[in-house]
Amino acid sequence: MKITGVETFPLSFKQERVQRKFLLVRITTDAGITGIGESSDCYGHQIPLAVREVIEGKVKQLIIGEDPFNVEGIWNKMRDTLISTGLEGIVTHAMSGVEIALWDIVGKAVKQPVYKLLGGARDTFRVYASTEIGLKDTPLEKQAKEALTYLDQGFTAIKIRVPGRPKWDEDIVRMVRNIVGGDVDLMVDAYQFYPPGTAVKMARRLERYDLFFLEEPVPAYNVRALARVKASTTVPIAAGEHVYTKYGFRELIANNAVDVLQPDCNVTGGLMECKKICALGEAWGLTCVPHTFATAVGLIAGWHLLASTPSCVMGEMDVNPFNPLRDELPTDSKIVKVEKGQAKVPQRPGLGIEINEKTLAKYAIK
């Protein structure tokens, strides 16, 4: 089997305050088998056309004629060729989508779901509700009560977000903790908003709320500042959605900068690269909670990582009620549903997701 074509699909939709943008990758073969992957950043690109240029302008010519089963060989070829451009940001996003699409092809060819090819540890796993609580303009009391919605849906773990305003931030954390009680795992995403000194103070102030983790209290590239925050507090510190390849995660681990690793297979190099990152974390006794905030394609790819990696203790579920590229993109919308805080990886060959072509056309960036 040989690769015969590579297509990209930049997509976009408006969600409340932001225009979310994504990029899907489709690879075709001479055997008639196609694979789909996603090359999207942590919340949806602002520059998917730049990623498309990396794929169609360079990666495409690298992989046409290659055997899609040669996943690691193709990944290394992309890395070695693109390294002069850098192995972070849009380059690694591009590599991620291609790698995921290759696994989709391999799974379909051997008639097995991808997670079984990657280890097959389990088919169901826990996910947390990833919310917008804390970032809205509504009163804090109203935002905090929204957490009850997710408890009613069966989630046992919830992530809220803070805008980098210390009093506001602590108030919303306190209110949500009081509402959900002590048995619910509570995470806080600080969006890299704090300068290091403030991050240290806030981490200490948040210790009393028994957080599962505090995510990105400072920019992820500032590894020394992350390490400073981690050393100052008992709150577990998490990072990873803005970190690229195993080499970036090596620096986090070597500098004792985090307690929780959050690799995203759509961002940091694909499924196998995330498996390697999780293995590094496991060897150093770190918790792995993969990041996934993408279309249905990226979400399902992340689920295959979770299902095949026992050291991943839970995953992330975007619970925003409006996300058409999560709900309308699959021909079978049921595959992205979560029941009682548990997700089930598709059992069909490959990633197990078939794309609604009308949805691709509807949300295409012209």
Q: What angle (nearest 5°) sits at the alpha carbon of residue 53, between those of residues 52 and 55?
A: 65
Q: Where are the domains of the chain?
A: 3-112+358-362, 116-352
Name, in order, each residue with C-beta under 8 angstroms of 104's C-beta and a sequence gap of 6 or more: 34, 35, 36, 37, 114, 350, 351
pLDDT tens-digit readout, 114-150: 999 999 989 999 999 999 999 998 999 999 999 999 9
CB 24 within 8 A of CB 36: yes
How many Å apart are CA 232 and CA 196, to the nearest integer? Answer: 11
CB 329 within 8 A of CB 359: yes
Backbone angles phi, psi at 161, to 5 degrees: -125, 150
pLDDT given for residue 359 in this prediction:
97
pLDDT given for residue 360 in this prediction:
96
Secondary structure (3-state) at 6: strand
Query: Which residues, listed in sequence order, are joined to residue 287 by a DSSP beta bridge?
Result: 260
Rounded to whole angstroms, the maximal C-alpha distance in the chain is 60
Name the CATH code of domain 116-352 (choices 1.10.150.20, 2.40.100.10, 3.20.20.120, 1.10.10.10). 3.20.20.120
pLDDT given for residue 44 in this prediction:
54
pLDDT given for residue 43 in this prediction:
62
Complete edge-to-edge strand list for the sheet that includes strand 34-38: 3-15, 18-29, 34-38
- Quick one: tokens of 192? 């890299």
CATH homologous superfamily for the domain 3-112+358-362? Enolase-like, N-terminal domain (3.30.390.10)
Secondary structure (3-state) at 318: strand
pLDDT given for residue 171 in this prediction:
98
**Segments in the chain below pLDDT 50:** none
pLDDT given for residue 366 in this prediction:
82
- Quick one: tokens of 73? 């060989």
pLDDT given for residue 40 in this prediction:
87
pLDDT given for residue 133 in this prediction:
97
pLDDT given for residue 260 in this prediction:
98
**C-alpha Rg value of the chain to the nearest Å:** 20
CA distances from 311 to 83, 230, 316 (A): 30, 21, 15
161: closest CA among 339, 14, 38, 18? 18
